[in-house]
């Protein structure tokens, strides 16, 4: 068995998914082609099935059309159904200030969620590799990040009520992917935009990482992956602590949550932030514009003395109203 298949089967043993429907996101690139082929090889005879899913961003003209045709041909070759989706409108014109990459990613995951519901998938597998993990961690460090950002790409997350997103190749390097495809004599598509150096991630891949490996440490990738594992463990520890505290000092109210702040400061500033983030996420409120400064502003409001006068209500991103009265902080999102 190749190193690729060995790592894939260890990361995600076939017995965990062989009897359910697995939707495999396939762009046509080397990583996703290898993932579909690898899962197909590892899958045992059962009542489950594999389904390929391809999202056409329609950003590269004929290249995008050729990618779609390639994936459809590959699915037929492997003997699996292929669900295809396309961008709803011009992503290139619609991204505004959000960034094209972010809008494209959001559209892609929305498609995967719909496709998972369409075929009844229990899992949605994407082909992020160890190389993607390293690049993501560096990107987060450059932009400024907390522990969760240092942990990099999560191995799993809930995509829909019924489907879990899983990334079984996070321990596999791009070199191992290419060796596997070479062994199978399989071709794949090259995305020409991966070479554009006006994109930050591409500069990290083609310029910064080679520089760090050459001039600072040949083991920088392994060091960053170790950092991610440690950060993930620490992040999970603090999340559990915050969840335990939240159950003791908060309760749901109409349109939001109420926090009894008398015991709020017992765990220190870090736990206070984790608690607020947990309660915010539990409500399904948007996180994107909640900067570190905003969390500190909210934490400071929560820490105001219980015997002082009521503080003026403050508004936070997403239309969230925060109001402190005595020993109670109320967070609500008015309709």
What pLDDT is stored for residue 289 in this prediction? 85
How many helices (H) and strands (E) would you count in the chain?
13, 11
Categorize the per-residue pLDDT at 64 as very low, low, confident or very high, splitting at 50, 70 and 90: confident
Determine the topology of domain 236-332 in CATH.
3.30.465
In the chain, domain spans: 3-128+153-194, 236-332
How much is the pTM?
0.85
Which range is least confidently modeled, 145-149, 181-185, 257-261?
Answer: 145-149
pLDDT digits over 184-194, tens only?
Answer: 999 999 887 77
pLDDT tens track for 78-132: 999 999 998 776 655 544 445 667 788 888 999 999 999 999 999 999 999 999 9
At the topology level of CATH, where does 3-128+153-194 sit?
Rossmann fold (3.40.50)
Q: Is the pLDDT of residue 35 over 50?
A: yes
Average pLDDT, the chain: 90
Q: Quick one: which H or E segment has residue 184?
A: helix 174-184
Mean pLDDT across the stretch 134-139? 96
Residue 308, CA atoms < 13 Å, CB-side half-sphere: 11
Inform me whether the pLDDT recorded for 21 exceeds 60: yes
Which pLDDT value is given to residue 303?
Answer: 87
Give every strand in the sheet of 81-86, ordered side by side: 81-86, 49-56, 21-25, 123-125, 164-166, 156-158
How many residues are recorded in the chain? 335
């Amino acid at each position: 068995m190749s190193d690729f298949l060995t790592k894939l089967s260890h990361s995600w043993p076939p017995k965990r998914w062989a009897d359910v429907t697995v939707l495999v996101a396939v762009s046509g690139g080397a990583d996703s082609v290898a993932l579909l082929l690898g899962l197909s090889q590892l899958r045992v005879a059962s009542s489950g099935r594999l389904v390929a899913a391809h999202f056409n961003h329609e950003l590269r003209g004929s290249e995008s059309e050729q990618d779609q045709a390639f994936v459809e041909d590959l699915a037929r070759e492997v003997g699996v159904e292929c669900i295809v989706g396309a961008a709803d409108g011009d992503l290139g014109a619609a991204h505004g200030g959000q960034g094209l990459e972010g809008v494209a990613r959001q559209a892609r995951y929305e498609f995967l969620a719909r496709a998972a519901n369409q075929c009844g998938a229990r899992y949605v597998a994407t082909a992020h590799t160890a190389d993607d993990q390293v690049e993501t961690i560096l990107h987060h460090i450059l932009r400024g990040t907390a522990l969760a950002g240092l942990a990099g790409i999560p191995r799993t997350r809930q995509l829909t009520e019924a489907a879990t997103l899983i990334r079984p190749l996070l321990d596999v390097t791009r070199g191992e992917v290419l060796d596997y495809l070479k062994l199978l004599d399989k071709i794949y598509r090259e995305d020409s935009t991966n070479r554009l150096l006006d994109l930050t991630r591409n500069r990290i891949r083609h310029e910064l990482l080679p520089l760090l490996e050459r001039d600072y440490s040949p083991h920088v990738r392994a060091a960053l992956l170790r950092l991610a594992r440690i950060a993930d463990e620490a992040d999970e520890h603090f999340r559990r602590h915050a969840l335990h505290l939240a159950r003791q000092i908060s309760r749901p109210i109409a349109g939001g949550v109420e926090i009894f702040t008398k015991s709020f400061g017992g765990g220190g500033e870090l736990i206070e932030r984790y608690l607020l983030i947990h309660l915010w996420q539990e409500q399904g409120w948007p996180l994107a514009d909640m900067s570190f400064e905003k969390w500190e502003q909210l934490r400071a409001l929560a820490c105001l003395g219980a015997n002082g006068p009521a503080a003026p209500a403050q508004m936070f991103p997403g239309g969230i109203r925060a109001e402190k009265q005595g020993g109670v902080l109320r967070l609500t999102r008015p309709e």
